[in-house]
Amino acid sequence: MTVATAEGGDIDSAIELIAEVFVADPVVAALVSPDLPRRDRALRALIRADASPRGAVVDIASGADGAVVGATVWHRADAGSPALSARLQLAWYGGRGTVRALKEYDDTVRKIFPAENHWHLLNIVVSPQASGSGVGSTLLQHGLDRVDADAQSAVLEASTPDSARLYARHGFEELAVIEGGPAHGATLMRRPPGGTQ
């Protein structure tokens, strides 16, 4: 397995994998309603919007055959807004409900984010075929090495207890359980610079 920062077509492969794996994620389901007639396109537009700003970094893990088996999307604290084309696709396929849910999510989560400069892990996924093989931990550590090189903290929202346990093994600590909005019940977690307090 190799891990690298995605470029060009690899970003599209990462978006496809994230959409495939996150289709049943509780936070994603609150953002992009399962009842939408074009949900698959709305979900891909949401992920593309996450991956498009200046300051976004998409990392991929590739198997021996070159297929993408895992992906992450990180934002620096100063990441810009999503590209206009990504925002328009999201509005077109997701409709007002998705746009409203995303704004509510941002408003809710940003209120409790640490004020310090940090990296935000938006997405981490592993293909079902590679599950349990260490791909997630390897991808996460790759991103944390970048975070540590910047001497910044890392934050994320753990949407399931299983993901919270993975993050805790990598030095993340619970800051708060998110109340209200599409991320209701998710756990906001922070890893201090270098992984130590």
pLDDT in tens, 18-51: 999 988 888 888 888 888 778 888 888 888 888 8
- For residue 168, what are its two tokens? 């805790």
Q: What is the pLDDT of residues 49-89, one digit of tens each?
A: 888 877 789 999 999 998 999 999 998 877 766 666 667 77
Averaged pLDDT, 141-146? 95
What pLDDT shows up at residue 174?
A: 94
> Nearest Cα to 56, choosing from 16, 88, 14, 19?
14
- pTM confidence score: 0.86
Contacts of 134 (CB under 8 A, 6+ apart): none
Contacts 24+ apart (CB under 8 A), 55-60: 55/79, 55/80, 57/5, 57/143, 57/146, 58/5, 58/6, 58/10, 58/11, 58/14, 59/3, 59/4, 59/5, 59/6, 59/139, 59/142, 59/143, 60/3, 60/4, 60/5, 60/6, 60/10, 60/13, 60/14
